[in-house]
Chain A
Amino acid sequence: MSETIIRLENIGVAFNAQLRVGSPRFWALEDVSLELARGERLGVVGRNGSGKSTLLRTIAGIITPDRGRLKRAPVSCQLLSLALGFMPHLSGRDNAVLSGLMLGLRRREIMQRLPAILEFSELGDFFDQPISSYSTGMTMRLGFSVAMQVEPDVLLIDEVLSVGDAEFQQKSGDALRERIHSGTTVVFVSHGDAQIHKVCDRAVWIEQGRSMMQGPVDAVLAAYHAAPPISPPPTGP
Chain B
Amino acid sequence: MRLHLVELILFSTYAELRAERARSYLGLLWWIVEPAMNMGVYYLVFAVIFRIGGQDYIPFLLIGLTLWQWFKSCISHGGYSIWQQLPLIRQVKLPLQVFPSVQILADTVKFLCILAILLVALWSTGYPPNVAYVALLPVLLVELIFVSACTYVVAAVVPLVPDLRFVIEQVLQVIMFLSGIVFSLDGLPPALRRWFELNPIVELVDAGRGILMRGEWPDWFALGRVGLISLALYVFGSLLITRLTPRYVKLPT
Contacts and interface: CB of A to CB of B under 8 A. Distances in A.
A94 B15 contact: yes
A195 interface: no
Contact of A16 (B3, B11, B162, B250): B250
A14 B246 CA distance: 11
Nearest to B246: A64
Nearest to A78: B92
Given A18-B252, A90-B15, A106-B4, A84 B91 contact: yes
Interface string A80-118: 010011011110001001100111111100000000000
Contact of A89 (B3, B8, B19, B162): B19
Nearest to B253: A15
Interface residues of A, number: 33
B18 A63 contact: no
A89 B22 contact: yes
B15 A19 contact: no
A62 B248 CA distance: 10
A130 interface: yes
A62 B250 contact: no
B88 interface: yes
B178 to A, nearest CB: 31
Contact of B162 (A19, A79, A81, A107): A19
B88 A62 contact: no
Interface residues of B, number: 24
Contacts of B92: 62, 78-79, 81, 84-85, 102-103
B69 interface: no
B88 A19 contact: no
B251 interface: yes
Interface string A8-34: 000001111111000000000000000
Contact of B8 (A13, A15, A101): A101
A72 to B, nearest CB: 12
A60 interface: yes
A85 B81 CA distance: 13
Contacts of B252: 15-19
Contacts of A90: 15, 18-19, 22
A61 interface: yes
B8 A102 contact: yes
Contact of B12 (A63, A98, A103): A98
Contacts of B250: 13-16, 63
Interface of A: 13-19, 57, 60-64, 78-79, 81, 84-85, 87-90, 94, 97-98, 101-107, 130
Interface of B: 3-4, 7-8, 11-12, 15, 18-19, 22-23, 88-94, 162, 246, 249-252
Given A64-B246, A84-B88, 4 more contacts: A57-B249, A62-B89, A81-B92, A87-B15
When A and B form their complex, which 4 residue pairs have the shortest distance between CB atoms, in order from nearest? A89-B22, A64-B246, A89-B19, A101-B8
